[in-house]
Each structure stands twice: as C-alpha cells, then as structure tokens.
Structure 1
C-alpha cells in the first residue's frame, strides 16, 4: 500500500510537466517592459504577457485585440478604437482607455528614453516629434481617451498601415498603477509585474522566464496551456541538444542550415516560410573612398548571392521582400544574369573607379567580434570581393559598443546588417535609406525622405505602390545598400505541440494559440 503514494506522485509530476510548455530563446531578453523593448529576443515573451489594441492572426494580419473594433475617418487621419468591455490587468484591476493613453504618453516622453519612440513620428501621430524632443508636453500628443472604452489617435497624414503598426511591442499597454507603486523595475518584482495578456509573470532566473495563464485575460478560454517557460540558449546547437533530450518543446527560429537532421532524430521541423527579414550590406557613401559610385557598383555586381552563406534564405535583389504587402514587382537590370557577366561588369566598374592591381583600393569591413553566424557571412563576402583585381579587404572586429558608436557616427566603410520589419509595408524597409529612423545613416539625399513621406500618406493603393517602387529602384541602384538575402527560419516542435503555424511573415507565434496533447 505504501507504493501508491509514490506512484501517484510520479503520475502527478508527469501531468504537471505535460501542462507546461517550454519554448526556446536565442538570447536573454533585454527587458520585459514594453517601452524599453530592444528587439527580437524579448518580443515573443512580451506578446505572451501583454495584448495591444491590435494583435496579429496566424498570417500576421492585424485583427482586434484589446480593442474589439476600430474606425478611420474619411480623410484617413483619425483612428477611433473601441475597447472590449470589462478588460482587466492580471491583478484584477480594471483596464481602460486611460491606461492606453498613459502608455502612449510614456512611450513619447523623452524622460522615459524609449528606444522606439520614433515609431510615433513614423506613424504620423500629431505632435509626436515635438513631444519626443521635449518641445511640447506629453499632454499635447495626438491621443485622447473619450471615455473608458474609447481611444482616439489623430495623425498628421493618412497611414493605411496604422493598425499593423499597433501590433509592434512598443505599443503594448503598461500598468500605471504598478509603475507608480513599484518603480521603473516593476516588471521584475513579484506582485508588481502586472500584464494584460494571456499570461502573467511568475519569476525570472537561471536562464529562464516562467509565466502562468492569466485568469483575468478576456480571452482566457483561448489560452489552453497553464504554465509556460521561456528558456535561453547561447547557441543553436545547445537548443537542438535540449530539444533531443526532451527538455524543450519549441526551439527559437533557427537558420535552415541548423536543422542537422542527423543530430535531431525526433520532433517536427516547420517548413521555411517567407519572412519580413532582409540581410544587406551598407556601403557608406559618405566615406571618401566609398563615395565613388563606380566602386560601389563593382562591389555589388561581383557578389554571388547564392554563395553568400547558403541555406539561410533566398537571394535578395531588393531591400523589400517581394511578399511584403504593397510591394511592387520591380527587379534590377542584372537580375537573373549569369554570374560571369556580372563579374565582367564589376571589373569594368572597378576600372572606371580608377582601381587596379597597380593601384589597389583598401576596404575596411567592420563587424562585431564573436558574431557566430555573421562570421560565415563576412568570409563569404570578403572572399568574393578579393576576386576583383586590386581590391584589398581587411575585416575589423569590434566589441558591440564600439561597433555601434562607429556605425551611428558614420565612421566606417562597409558593414553587414539585417532588418526585421516592424509592420507589413514597404515603408518599413525603405526608411533605412533616409533619416526617418535613428538607426539609418541617410545614405540617400533629403529628397528621398520627402518622397517616402509622400508615399506613406498616399491613399491610393496603386499610386502608393508605384511611389514605393521608385524609391526601391533609387535605393538599390545607388549601391549604398546592397541586399543579400531574404532570410528564412525554421522551428523544431515536439509532436505533442499542436496549433503552431509558421505563416506569420514577422515570425511571431503567441503561446495562447498553442495546445499540448
């Protein structure tokens, strides 16, 4: 009879583990405060913890979230969001339009120091630039709470993709009552880490973040998994080892080359889906050497995109992935040409630039030290450039702080980068050519930004597509940004995981849509 308690304990332990979903993270999140959101590592966790006015369906399209509906005025400048009734934070406190108003203002407040406050300006929110620059008080921001369930956002110009922008993590709501009671580190304190999404915070430590189902979530019945763990790994191989051991249910998005089918004999791999990610080179036209357009053309033409780190995606001939909503079908003249013809064009361009074996050009390729997969990219690119007579390339590896400083100051010649769109529209990529983003160098002239602003505010879909096409052509033909790859990723899933779809081009799959069998 004494054996029964032990058997029951084992059965209970198995049941509890079966109700816990373990998901992989490639790197530790920088924060769990949406307004200090940095990038991809924390986005998945934040989308489990919080729910914005608008969320994404399995295909990445904007659908009602905390707002049950929205309307836009005839001139496309006023967006009215109607919140669901009886919304609550995870501590049971009512959530109203005033919470969203507070969140918009906190995002815009320069005292907050939010990394993506500039997205308010990109979205065209009235007075957002003056507010984020401290020239006007936050109360002048074009956001108003008409009543407890109605929030109005006013724009300077129409933005057809405004609902899609509202799915970006920086626009998630934050709890004013918890922040005022617990301080700026509220999101990591027990009893203070209040959220409004399908899951609420439990603890963080030992390379993992534990969440539990939020019983006050309005869509509580949708979240079928009771306990959730986001676990961090340093390398893709570490994830695959944990996955094979049964300690991980879903890996993070891994490059296709990391599938290693011989190393992973269990589980299911998702089919690679097109995503809104482009890998590219920045050839700094403001550098005295790189300002030569013939040299930039030579460096672009000689690159065989299929040979640049194969198996991580398809070759990119435009900065904007062709499956982006509203993208044109424009392609450069040398698209589809045999590489030997492109090599010949590169040599001719190099000669026009005035360089040869007797008069070589020295190029500094700036990268981040210890950048893992990026090292393979860099070696592939550099080896191809060295095929040109007289081109000498030095790889300079810097720590992240120095790399960022030199990039933002424009103190470099060539560097590799990648961009994940924050919303499904060509503008999300084309802004990299101008100065609408603080992370762009303005490789194009001021007319480019003027034209992009015009394109974003155009209400005719066909006219907007044509304007975007013209900008894409200008940017690609300048060879200041050289598209390399449209990246693809896969996830490994344990067979017990159901409901996982890789059809969102931004790559997000929230845990509330999953179940375990």
Structure 2
C-alpha cells in the first residue's frame, strides 16, 4: 500500500473513532486571516445564515454567542493584516462605505460621492449624525489622519503602503520617506467633505473604501492612548454598530450594541459574545449544549450533521497554498524543486478526506466564482483552467533534477503550520505527501496564528501553510501581492516580466477592462506554471451548523467575513 493511501486510511479511521467517542456539538469557528488580500488561517470556518425579509426579532433575547479559533492580533486599523482583526474592526467601525447584500457597497459615514471625468478625484459627502463612542463627531479630518497614519513610515503599517501605494496620490513616496505625510492625496475641504486624489484611475476604488485599512481614526484619542492604543477594550473607540466592552486576551471578547450609532435603529443585536476555542470537538459540544449559536465543522463531524437543517456549506473566494521562501533556502530557490512540491500533493484526496467540508482543490492563484471576463462573462478560473496537477512520477523526476543541480542526495525542510486541530491534521497529511519526494524530510512546526503572522513578516520560515482572501473584488488583489518586494510577498520571488505585467494591468490598461483581464490571465500562468512561486492547496468552503433562530447574517467575499449589523435572533 502506498504511504499516501495508508495515511488517508489511518486518518479516516482515527476521525471515525473520534466521532463515535464525541457525541457532542459545539462551535469552533475559525477564521483567522492573513492579508482578506487578507491572511487567513487553515482552520474550520464560520458560516452564514440568511434571514432578511419581513421577519422581526419579536421578544427573543438579542444575544449572539459564537466562537473564533484565534485571538485578535490587533484592533489598530493601521496595523491589522489578518481576517480576525478585520472581522472585529468591521463590526465596531464604519468607513466611508461598508459591504451589504451581494457584496455591494452601501453607505457608511459617506452618504454618496462624485467622481471627476478623469476618474482621479473622488469627493465624498459625509453624514453629520455620526459620532464616536466618546461623543465626538466623525469628520473628514478623521479619515485624513487615519490614511496619513497608515502610510507614515514611523508607524510601520504593512497594509497602508500595500493598499494605498499606487492608489492614493503620493502614498508610495510618503511610505518610502521621500515626502511628508501632509502631501497624501486626501483632504478635508470641510468637516463633512472628503476629497481624495488618486495616482491613476482605480477600477475597484469604491470597493477599497469598505476595507479596514481605510477606516477613520479619532486623532485626539489615538494620541492620548499612545502605545496603548487598541490593546484593550478601554483603549478603543467605535463609530460602528457595536462597541467592544470586554477583551480577555486569549479567552474571548464581548461586543455590545452602540446606542449612539447613526443607524442604531436598524441594529437589533444587543450583544455578541465571542469565545476563543481551538478544538473542534469542544466547539461542537458547546453548540449541542446551546452555549453557542454556531459551530465550524471539521471533517469528522461533517457527515454527522450533513442531513441536519442546521448544516451549512459556503464556498469562499479564499485560497490556501504552501509559500516557499526562495530567499532563505537554496532548495526552494530552485524552480524544479518548487515544481516538484507543487506536483506531488494529492489535492483531491486532501479535500475529500482530510477537510471534507466542501472545499475544492486549489489549481491557481485566483479562486473560482470570484471574477468574470468583462466581455464574455466567463469565470477567470474556467478560462485558465488547472495550472497545477498531481503527478507523483513527474514530481520525482523534477526533484531528482533539482537534487542533481544542487549537488545533494537528501534534503530537510521546516514547515510552518497552525496549532488548531484542523491545521495539525492537514499539516500531517501535507508532510506525508511531501516526503514522497525521495530523500526529503519535512519538520512540522505548529504555532499560534499570531506567531505565524510575525514569522511570515520576518520571513522566518522555509515552507509555510498560508491563506489569502481578497481585499477587493478584482484579480489584482491576489496577483499584485507577488510583485518584487511586495509587502505581502514574503517569498523572495522577483521577476521583471511578472512585475511588468502587473504594472501594465494597473496603469496602461486601467481603463481597458478586456485587455487588463486577459493580461491577468497570462500573469497567473507565469506565476504558477512557469515560476512555481506557490503550491496551491485548496479553495476553502466552510461547513458549519447554525441555530435556526439566528437570522440576517451576511457573508462577505472580502473584508470582514461576516456582517452582523442587521443580524437578529428570532424565535429562540
């Protein structure tokens, strides 16, 4: 029996025995995120319950109890880089716009906007009834301060330069220390009018304004808190639907309805209680005993709940892959070694047996059902097809070539993975797959999500299980991250031809949607097929169970995974 099949059988038996032993339910949600372009963790995810319409909450207690599988790394919008942080920033804050139904931008602090004929000047008209949770009005100056802070090199934001560079006028020069922050192309023409100057036409700019990096900040409060800002519940301000009132690090947090929110009359939930639970079985037990209202399901629980009316599966535009540090390791600097790693992994068995939650094999850098050709309407993924395949025999040949080129018979690689139950099961499978390459030993290092983010930032890894969800709805959100010295590249990859493709798509072709889209198709082929920068693993789907009384939760394809603004409890 092949080693791969043996491991699948063992895991399946272990999981089935574990299922018999654990009759319970509970929720383990895990959406830990890396740069939604955000980094996300390889854990079971929460789901979405639709419930809009004519229903009302009636006399039900408006308290939602849920779980997350990781601590919030930060609540500072300038420093956030992951899906956990962006989720709770999005729940407690309003930017110019927020995502509503069908990923459409709906008014937040901005009531509307105008765009100049050359598409370079955007003027936002702000509402005058929005306040911070300390009573201060939310003004255009709060956006100016926040956006300047995000590109201020002294602050050290990763996402500010990444999201604003090449978008907001002078952002790159400011982030590089070549220009004062006051030169950023954002101006408060009065308290309730914000004018934004762009470097060039940006087809997705309205979508960008819903993202967490573009949230406003109250300058007086931030500066008063100093280096303690956003570290505790009492060093935060909110201007959104909810206020964080408790934050017990490593254990959980509580949000309460913001009674001073400009749209408070449409917010029905009074509390959202979040517990950090890393173990799926514990989470499922909490769900079954009614202590939480939703639970993420790992593979061993999916079949148990598949026929339940409370079972949900949601496909997400979130990709997971193995990042390979070309800068820090001579083996991974070899393209044949990288292609061997791509090709040796059986993705179909991974999603069918290990994940078993509706996820599908990853075959490129753009997820399916995310963006379509502007002329034909055909899905990006369908056009480019599968850019990676499983072929163990060819992988062995590529690996043998790589070893010959490197002058080595054996190799050892460290693999950075997560510390949740699902992550550990998945990483054990990937280790087994990779060790099919003759002479390769893989050492798995399981660490908390926050540590993995830090090690990624410092490029302190060799192989890494990493995930990415979109920051906006455009192929650029996935493809732009791999340009030379990109803030979220962190692989050492650098290719002038690839850089040129992305540069042309976002400049010369910015207002030529068909040519731009087709250039992105070519860029993806170069990234995955030719240069093998990453080894795609899977496109995530989330399997969960939700209590039927939870209504009105909207699932987002970017930014915060869930919108709780209009959620409510009905008939509990």
TM range (shorter): 0.7 to 0.9
Structure 2 stretches lacking a partner, 5+ long: 1-57, 373-378
1:436 Cα deviation from its structure 2 partner: 5.4
SS where residue 134 of structure 1 aligns?
coil
1:150 correspondence with 2:203 = no
Of 468, 475, 479, the match for 2:527: 475
1:321-332 matched pairs, under 5 angstroms: 321-326=367-372, 328=380, 329-331=382-384
The CA distance in 2 between the partners of 1:444 and 1:152, in whole Å, is 35
Distance 1:80 1:296, change over 3 A: same
1:461 to 506, 509, 513: 513
Bigger RCO of structures 1 and 2 (CA < 8 A, at least 6 apart): 2
Which string of whole-angstrom CA distances, capped at 9 and with x for unpartnered residues, describes residues 303-354 of structure 1? 221123342410011111022225623435776x7x5xx3343344345446
Which of 135, 160, 163 is residue 203 of structure 2 equivalent to? 160
Give the match for residue 315 of structure 1: 361
CA contact (8 A) 1:69 1:83 kept: yes
Cα offset, 1:169, TM superposition: 1.5
Cα deviation per residue 1:435-483 (whole Å; 9 max; x = unaligned)? 3532313424133223212212321211111111111000011222121
Alignment of 1:277-288 (within 5 A): 277-286=318-327, 287-288=329-330
Question: In 2, are the aligned partners of 1:198 and 1:214 still within 8 Å (CA)?
Answer: yes
Instruction: Note if 1:257 corresponds to 2:299.
Output: yes
Distance 1:423 1:139 in 2: 26
Cα drift, residue 36 of structure 1: 3.0
TM-score by length of 1: 0.85
Q: Does 1:448 align with 2:498?
A: yes
Alpha-carbon contact 1:70-1:79 (below 8 Å) kept: yes
Match of 2:216 among 158, 173, 189: 173
Asked if the contact 1:107–1:117 (Cα under 8 Å) also holds between the matched residues in 2, the reply is yes
- Structure-2 residue corresponding to 1:296: 338
Name the CA distance, whole Å, in 2 between partners of 1:476 and 1:107. Answer: 31
Given the superposition, is the C-alpha separation of residues 266 and 348 from structure 1 closer, same or farther in structure 2, using an over 3 Å criterion?
Answer: closer
**Alpha-carbon offset, residue 209 of structure 1:** 2.2
> Secondary structure of the equivalent of 2:565?
helix
Q: How does 1:8-47 map to 2 (within 5 A)?
A: 18-47=61-90
Which residue of structure 1 aligns with residue 398 of structure 2? 349
Aligned 8 A contact 2:146 2:217 in 1: yes
1:57 aligned to 2:89?
A: no
Deviation at 1:26, TM superposition (A): 1.7
Alpha-carbon distance in structure 1 between the residues aligned to 2:190 and 2:501: 38
Q: In the TM superposition, what whole-angstrom CA distance separates every residue of 1:90-117 from its partner, at most 9, and x where no partner exists?
A: 3332211111112112222233333422
Change in Cα spacing, 1:40 to 1:236, as seen in structure 2 (3 Å) is: farther
Distance (Å, rounded) in 2 between the aligned partners of 1:264 and 1:473: 37
Q: Report the equivalent of 1:233.
A: 277
Mapped contact 2:125–2:193 kept (Cα < 8 A) = yes
C-alpha separation between the residues in 1 aligned to 2:224 and 2:408?
Answer: 67
> Retained in 2: the 8 A contact 1:332–1:473?
no
Q: How do residues 288-437 of structure 1 correspond to structure 2 at under 5 angstroms?
A: 288-308=330-350, 309-312=354-357, 313-326=359-372, 328=380, 329-331=382-384, 342-353=391-402, 360-368=409-417, 370=419, 372-388=421-437, 390-397=438-445, 413-435=462-484, 437=486
Match of 1:245 among 289, 295, 303: 289
Specify every segment of 5 or more residues in structure 1 that has no aligned partner in the other structure, as ranges: 1-14
1:270/1:502 contact within 8 Å kept: no
Aligned residues: 494
Alignment partner for residue 259 of structure 2, among 211, 215, 230? 215
Larger Rg: 1
- Distance in structure 2 (CA, Å) of the matches to 1:28 and 1:369: 13
**Any conservation in 2 of the 1:143–1:153 contact (CA below 8 Å)?**
yes
